[in-house]
Amino acid sequence: MTYREIREKFQKFFESKGHKLVPSASLVPENDSSVLFTTAGMQQFKPYYTGAMDVEKDFGSLNTASIQKAVRTSAIEEVGDESHLTFFEMLGNFSFGGYEKKEAIQYAHEFITKEMGLPIDYVSVFGGDSDVSADEESEKIWKEIDSNIKIEKYGKEDNFWGPTGEEGPCGPSTEIFVNGVEIWNLVFNEFYCSKDKKLEPLKMKGVDTGMGLERLAMVSQGKSNVYETDLFIATMDKIRELSPKDEEHSQRIIADHIRSAVFIISDGVFPSNTDKGYILRRLIRRAVRQADLVGMPRGSLAKVANVVINDYGNVYENLVTKGEEIRNEIQKEENSFIANLSKGLKQLEKLGNNISGKDAFDLYQSYGFPIEMTRGIVILEKGGSVDMEGYKEELKKHSELSTTASAGRFKGGLAGSGDMETKYHTATHLLFAVLRKILGEEVEQKGSNITPERLRFDFSYPQKLTDEEKQQVENLVNQKIEEGLDTSMQEVSVEEAKKMGAHGVFDKKYGDKVKVYKIGDFSLEICGGPHVKNTSELGEFKITKEESSSGGIRRIRAVLE
């Protein structure tokens, strides 16, 4: 059975059982800052479990089903084995008071044994602990369905799931194993876990199940690992075609990481040094390292990405519409890292097999080596060790220094005065001038915030920018960067600044003299500085997000590459 047939069978089955089919949410969670990425199918439904939103009003049913895109990187170093992946699709059925354990277990048993024709090895249930009693109800239901079924009892680590993030619904679970592989996890949300880890009973009990499409395809197709399934065949074939060396483990890592990168970029995330962008950067750079190990020529990863796009384009149309952007982002990140890779590897070779925390941090700072990559090379390839505690201490020191440096913020929102902050500050001036030129002179600055990794700019505008407008803004900023405009500054009185046409927040209190920064003949603003001498120093400007900040105020987030 192909993976497309499995998808269709799952959807038809639960639709026949009265479930509303709901499209996959974005990998970037909406209104949930507790996690960087969507990690489970239930994430988009969290407000319905707590009663904060009305599921019948929104979906016309108390029961839903979805095939959710998900990213988890907690086991990134396990990728390359038979079943661990960073990106996967989660088949799930959910109920918000429509049914409870009995129906959930019956549906799962019917789908696995009758629809898929697979034998169940055994199931597991929650055995209880000092906080929560054993799930005897699930055990009883399983025995009623099949008196001969093998049942294992496990603790919280295996059979108590949730919450996603710091707080949320959670509860005991029962898991289904086929061919020794955990296939389906059925979670019975009976509690709400608060940030202080206290469990309170939910007013409305819910059902939340998740089954990995890749694992289900593996067992139904009789394969020994997920990379042999039709989800990966074309991708693995392309990687082997481009690889002079036949290193299966490296090829699997490339396949997984590039597949993840394709989907992450398609949902509006770009490589950077913070948050989601850093996860993406780690994935691409680990793929670059593995591509180097198997001898793949430069530019190969974009070709691999193209296969992923073609494979999934019929299901996720945005992969096709954003195909060029996805390939370009992967290519740019590969090009930017490949130059440092050989230098970093030489430095790593000099350091030997036992790497101190400081050296590991320096490899990241100087050569862009994510700690996971350093660990992979030193531990897995060389049999050495990395002082992780020392690394964390160095990271903490760096964070404290950055925090101290940014404690006295400039009034314009600058978080420090390092090289990158300076570049972002100048880019913010260009962005403001471009917005006024494209959207109209009525646009006014309403706030900004700058870090070494990105800029955030708030401005007055009554509506969401169209894709065309965002592209125009991005293009014009980059045009002004390429023109190499000089930056100059002069100190004048506020009245003189007004006469010059300088932009500023004139209802705030300025001193007797103000600094006016001029960027070519394009931008003129009252500002505390600092700025680059010439816009050619900035690099490429890219908008990563445009959203509402509040009523009548829009917000743009952007990076320099």
Of 48, 27, 132, 31, the residue nearest 98 (C-alpha): 48
* pLDDT of residue 415 exceeding 50: no
Same domain, 190 and 250: no
Distances (CA, A) of 8 to 41, 145, 259, 340: 17, 26, 22, 45
Under the banding of pLDDT at 50, 70 and 90, the label for residue 80 is confident
* pLDDT of residue 340 exceeding 80: no
Same domain, 204 and 232: no
Is pLDDT larger for residue 150 or for residue 454? 150
Q: Give the tokens for residue 32.
A: 């949930």
One-letter amino acid at 535 equals T
Distances (CA, A) of 230 to 2, 241, 420, 550: 7, 17, 44, 46
Distances (CA, A) of 122 to 109, 125, 133: 11, 10, 22
User: From the centroid of its chain, how far is CA 57?
Assistant: 30
User: pLDDT tens digit string along 103-122?
Assistant: 999 999 999 999 999 999 99
Same domain, 209 and 349: no
Same domain, 165 and 202: yes
* pLDDT of residue 412 exceeding 50: no
Task: Characterize 238-277 residue by residue with b for buried, 16 or more Cβ atoms within 10 angstroms of its Cβ, and e for exposed.
Answer: bbeebbeeeeeebbbbbbbbbbbbbbbbbbbbbbbeeebb
Q: CA 261, CA 283: separation in Å to the nearest integer?
A: 7
Q: Does residue 289 lie in a domain region?
A: yes
Same domain, 385 and 522: no
Compute the chain's Rg from CA coordinates.
Answer: 27
Same domain, 543 and 452: yes
Same domain, 106 and 205: yes
Q: CA 67, CA 15: separation in Å to the nearest integer?
A: 13
Handedness of CA 474, 480, 486, 487 (dihedral sign): negative
Domain end (from 220, 247, 271): 220
Q: Does residue 291 lie in a domain region?
A: yes
- For residue 210, the domain's CATH number is 3.30.930.10
Q: Does residue 407 lie in a domain region?
A: no
Q: Does residue 406 lie in a domain region?
A: no
Of 183, 225, 194, 209, the residue nearest 80 (C-alpha): 225
Domain end (from 220, 246, 280): 220
Q: Does residue 74 lie in a domain region?
A: yes
The DSSP result for 438-477, as a single string, is HH-TT--EEEEEE-SS-EEEEEE-SSPPPHHHHHHHHHHH
Domain end (from 220, 254, 271): 220
Amino acid 512: pLDDT? 66
Same domain, 197 and 290: no
Q: Does residue 43 lie in a domain region?
A: yes
Same domain, 514 and 552: yes
Could you list the residue range(s) of the whole structural domain that residue 505 is in?
Answer: 419-560
Same domain, 355 and 460: no
Q: How many domains does the chain have?
A: 3
User: pLDDT tens digit string along 162-191?
Assistant: 787 778 888 999 999 999 899 999 999 999
Is pLDDT larger for residue 448 or for residue 206? 206
User: pLDDT tens digit string along 197-255?
Assistant: 889 888 788 999 999 999 999 999 999 999 999 999 999 999 999 999 999 999 999 99
pTM above 0.85, yes or no: no
User: pLDDT tens digit string along 476-485?
Assistant: 999 999 999 9
Distances (CA, A) of 12 to 7, 18, 242, 348, 367: 9, 10, 39, 53, 50
Q: Does residue 412 lie in a domain region?
A: no
Of 67, 69, 63, 68, the residue nearest 15 (C-alpha): 63
Q: CA 534, CA 428: separation in Å to the nearest integer?
A: 14
* pLDDT of residue 11 exceeding 70: yes
* pLDDT of residue 9 exceeding 90: yes
Under the banding of pLDDT at 50, 70 and 90, the label for residue 505 is low
Q: What is the 3-state secondary structure (H, E, C) of 152-188?
A: EEECHHHHEECCCCCCEEEEEEEEEEECCEEEEEEEE
DSSP state of 227: G
User: pLDDT tens digit string along 307-317?
Assistant: 999 999 999 99
- For residue 521, the domain's CATH number is 3.30.980.10
Same domain, 268 and 355: yes
One-letter amino acid at 410 equals F
Same domain, 483 and 384: no
Amino acid 291: pLDDT? 94
Q: Does residue 216 lie in a domain region?
A: yes
